[in-house]
A and B are shown apart, each in its own frame.
Chain A
Amino acid sequence: MTSLLASETAAVSFPVLTAMVLTPFLGALLLLVLPNNRPEYFKQVAFLVSALTAAMTAWVMVEFDKAHAATFQFVDQYEWIETLGISWALGLDGISLWLVVLTGALFPIVILAIDAEHSPKPYYAWILVLEAGCMGVFLALDLFAFFVFFEIVLVPMYFLIGQWGHGERAYAATKFFIYTMMGSALMLVGIISTAVITANTTGNDLTFGLIELAESQALGQTAARWIFLSFALAFAVKVPIFPLHTWLPDAHTNAPTAGSVILAGVMLKLGTYGFLRFGIYLFPEAAVYFAPFLVALGTIGILYGAIAATMQRDLKRLVAYSSVAHLGFIVIGTFALNTEGIEGGLLQMVNHGVSTGALFLLVGMIYERRHTREISKLGGLQKPAPMLAGVFMVVMLSSIGLPGLNGFVGEFLTLIGAFAAHRWWAVVAASGVIIAALYLLWAYQRVFHGPAEGDNATMPDLTVREGLTMVPFLVAIVFMGVYPKPVLERMEPAVDALVAHVETHVEDFDEPVADIAHHVELEDLADLGTDTHGEEDGEHG
């Protein structure tokens, strides 16, 4: 409770976080009551609603007090179901800030960039519900509310894939739904057990509040480990961590472009964010205990995703498998359990959202023009569409982790962190960076180089609207690559606090410190973007 009270100074009278969750949801309801005879309004209304949400997000970002980034700010707390200690509690700290900003920024772009192929009304309504759900997951400070949001996001995605998808859409939608439900079903057992055992041990009233539960640390070691596993399963499916990833390529391939962008950009982060906010915070001992295991799985995911991506013939599937690899980096960074690793993982979540989201948008644009995603049927697109090729190149290089672009900073920090904690796994993981360069450059070469024949030769370039939608991505990619300091300095206090929380509550655990971290202070990170030797430093310590 103390931390909640401490943040009250930063709280404002207007419940902005609640508004950020409810605005898209109410927007969806508004869409449903709009008359059917003016279909062009649907997109405009949806865009305005998401832009309004984005504006609130921007305001929160500006007002965010970076000196107190470790405490929850803008906290909204209302009783929801009093008898069971369930409340509607939302809050924002340095860990969730950038994911919320990412969510707020990505949705208007997606709505603007892509037209519904058919039935626009439910399409935009589902996207707005999805936005509300994602916001809710990132902001929830109550386990019950968190679980509700965590489940809600499945429903709109199920319909987006099932109704507006391509190919085996019904199969892909059902598989996605069942897989992610399978993971989270046991988490519900875990959530209730945490609340009940804590209430029994401390003698306090039953509560589902995250902070109270995490600060009391009332679970026994065995119970905490089992419950951590139930959480970990839910998050691991969502991330997805190898070997639970099989739903992802199917969902991505068959989803409509907007679905893929949101899935890659925001929804995959729900799992990695869940590990940080709930897994490690609630069960520090269990997290330390299982960390080597998760790092190993993350590393396997990096290699597996990279190798599988190399073998794909479908451009979208290739990007989907590259996601599996990228999320492997986030997992090893997170479970390095030191400041660098977690920060790197967090930054990488945002980076991946930006660059993979952009890649899916670009693949969608190619598909719209050529009605195929088969790499072998594409070729020489550089000549008819130089703009598209150029943007694709920049985004792809960011995804590879080219120094100077955003992906590099995140991957670098992740590997430093992982190296300090699990040296050999980090070395193996680093090779994933090289394979990523290989398959993405190879794909680029096959799609954009060479002679353009048939339809490829006449493919139109980016339209103005498409070009404009890519601008925010490019700006983010370059900005975060060259000057990541504003992003990192808002994360750092929260990440430090989390690591300190783990150190306090786990005996014999000291933050694995990388030697290099003594040399590279965060102030220097601003220059990291231009330091081309940084990556090798990461590998060799």
Chain B
Amino acid sequence: MLAALAAEVGDFVRPPIDWHAAAPELTLLAFGVLLTLMDIVWLERGRKWAPALASIGLLATMVPIITLAVDGADRSMFGGAFVVDKYALIMKAVFILAGYIVVLISSNYISEGDYWENEYYGLLLSSILGMILMASARDLITIFIALELLSIPAYMLATWRKRDLKSNEAGLKYYLMGVFASAILLYGMSLLYGASGTTLLVDLNESISASDSPSAIVVMGIIFVIVGFAFKVSAVPFHTWAPDTYEGAPTPVTAFLSVASKAAGFVALMNMLFVGFIGRDDVYEPMIFALAAVSMTVGNLIALRQTNIVRMLAYSGVAQAGYMLAPLAVASDVPDSALAATVSYLVIYAVMNLGAFAVVIAVARKTRSAEIDDYRGLFHYAPGLTVAMTIFLFALAGIPPLGGWWAKFRIMGAVIEANTVSGVVLGVFVAVNSVIALYYYARIGAKMWADEAPDGDLTPVRVPASLKSALVLTVAATIVFGVLPGLVGDVTKVSLLAGVGG
């Protein structure tokens, strides 16, 4: 073996590198390194530049993404392990923009928190780097690397307030669950590798779907991989870390985890399902069906009982993961619609959920609390925030004409279009669940609008400029996606181009 390896190393020829295709990752990497260097060289003096540099880095990364989109050609490198297609570009843009909004909502929170700032942005950028890499990853090892690159900084971000026990606990729970999931995922990958002899998803699919019925080892491999990602996207019954981590972590980090990290999990899952397992729908579809149905129902039912808004959003996020999983359960029947539906949902969910967290952060600046009861009478002293929160909550509940409605419509459209019993059943599940969900969203609405402020304290909430711009961006996007869904509809008309060879 070693001789063979040595022989191969001897003949090593650098694979051709398409620098344009790799430019987003390289740009972001450069800025991440720059931030770290600045931290080492300038120490405290770099502090006030860190958020600006991070924002510039993220926006600069958008440039190659846009030029690649304008160019429009599908690119592929390393034998098909790294692919840039329309789907990958959309998801990269989502990650970058979500990251940008997270920077906007973090800057005041972090600078007022009396903790070291520069590392925060460095970690944030590396995590986003992992995410945009994930969007292009079409190989088991690449997916694994991307997953770890995005997860490991996230563990540290969750523990950011390191002198706060809650934050420590949030980070440790997230970490233990995260590595457990990675180990399960890896084991599944090793089984799939053993069954197919390849780590490339395209070849994997060809190999495992060749026979009529799957071998035990393939079934095990697929189950382990899906379970690993189910942890990542916090699907029931692998969601237990989410509420605790969300509550304990700094709120901007929670926003980041619940949006970007979850989206990255979905991107990985979609890459696996649509490229790697698409021929083995007899194995994964029942599993995804169960995960979707159980996640939305259990998530919503537990969310009903929450008294803390962050925990409520955490459980509602579990339910939303269920909605997003639903089209994947009919992935083989209507691949294009299912993929477009989940991608649309991810885009819109990112906007509305980030917005909701931005309001939570703004309100906590005054109340120092995330208890739902502290939202009573919000309208009387913060009408703007109340309107914004109402828009986000109604969007999450799927009320037209807001973005969330269109997202839900796409989900329903995809599962029903499949024209299978399981698809229609999922559609009914989504419908019933959106009513359950409306109850807890509307309850917060009623508290904000109809109740009196506790203790009659009507001092207004001071919202810093960066937070305000994050709110304006998210409100505008939530409304535009709802009124002119053609925009997001056309953008997310995607298909995974699995076949492009290197």
Interface set of A (CB-CB < 8 Å, partner B) = 80-84, 144, 147-148, 151-152, 154-155, 158-159, 162-163, 169-170, 173-174, 177-178, 181-182, 185-186, 188-189, 192-193, 196-197, 200
Contacts and interface: CB of A to CB of B under 8 A. Distances in A.
Contacts of B38: none
B386 to A, nearest CB: 11
Contact of B489 (A81, A162, A193): A81
Q: Is the interface of A mostly helix, strand, loop or mixed?
A: helix
Given A163-B449, A186-B428, A155 B399 contact: yes
A185 B442 contact: no
B400 interface: yes
Q: Is the interface of B mostly helix, strand, loop or mixed?
A: helix
B212 interface: no
Contacts of A162: 445-446, 449-450
Nearest to A183: B435
B438 A83 contact: no
A88 B412 CA distance: 20
A486 to B, nearest CB: 36
Given A152-B400, A154-B399, A189 B424 contact: yes
A163 B409 CA distance: 30
B154 to A, nearest CB: 35
Going nearest first, the 10 A-B pairs with the smallest beta carbon separation are A185-B431, A148-B400, A170-B446, A170-B450, A192-B416, A189-B427, A182-B435, A162-B450, A151-B400, A81-B486
B116 interface: no
Interface in B431-479: 431-432, 434-435, 438-439, 442-443, 445-447, 449-451
A223 B391 CA distance: 36
Nearest to B443: A174
A189 B450 contact: no
A191 to B, nearest CB: 9
B431 A152 contact: no
Interface residues of B, number: 33
Nearest to A177: B442
A82 B424 contact: no
Given A181-B438, A192-B412, A169 B450 contact: yes
A152 B401 CA distance: 7
A185 B434 contact: yes
24 contacts: A83-B489, A84-B413, A144-B409, A151-B399, A155-B399, A158-B442, A158-B445, A162-B446, A163-B450, A178-B435, A178-B438, A181-B438, A185-B431, A185-B435, A186-B432, A188-B412, A188-B431, A189-B412, A189-B427, A189-B428, A192-B409, A192-B412, A192-B416, A200-B419
A83 B493 contact: yes
Given A182-B435, A193-B416, A84 B442 contact: no
Contact of B486 (A80, A192, A197): A80
Contacts of B446: 162, 170, 173-174
B485 interface: yes
B169 interface: no
Contacts of A158: 442, 445
A83 B337 CA distance: 11
Contacts of B417: 192, 196
A186 B428 CA distance: 7
B394 interface: yes
Given A81-B489, A178-B438, 20 more contacts: A83-B486, A83-B493, A148-B405, A151-B399, A152-B399, A155-B399, A159-B449, A162-B445, A162-B446, A162-B450, A163-B450, A174-B446, A177-B438, A185-B431, A185-B434, A188-B412, A192-B409, A192-B416, A192-B417, A193-B424
A181 B408 CA distance: 14
Contacts of B427: 189, 192-193
Contacts of B394: 155
Given A151-B399, A155-B399, A193-B424, A173 B450 contact: yes
B486 A82 contact: yes
A174 B434 CA distance: 14
B183 to A, nearest CB: 40
A440 B416 CA distance: 49
Interface string B191-225: 00000000000000000000000000000000000
B409 A188 contact: yes
Contacts of A83: 486, 489-490, 493
B431 A174 contact: no
A178 B416 contact: no
B447 to A, nearest CB: 8
Nearest to A199: B417
Contacts of B413: 84, 192, 196
B434 A170 contact: no
Given A155-B399, A185-B431, A170 B451 contact: yes
Contacts of B490: 83
Contacts of A181: 434-435, 438
A132 to B, nearest CB: 11
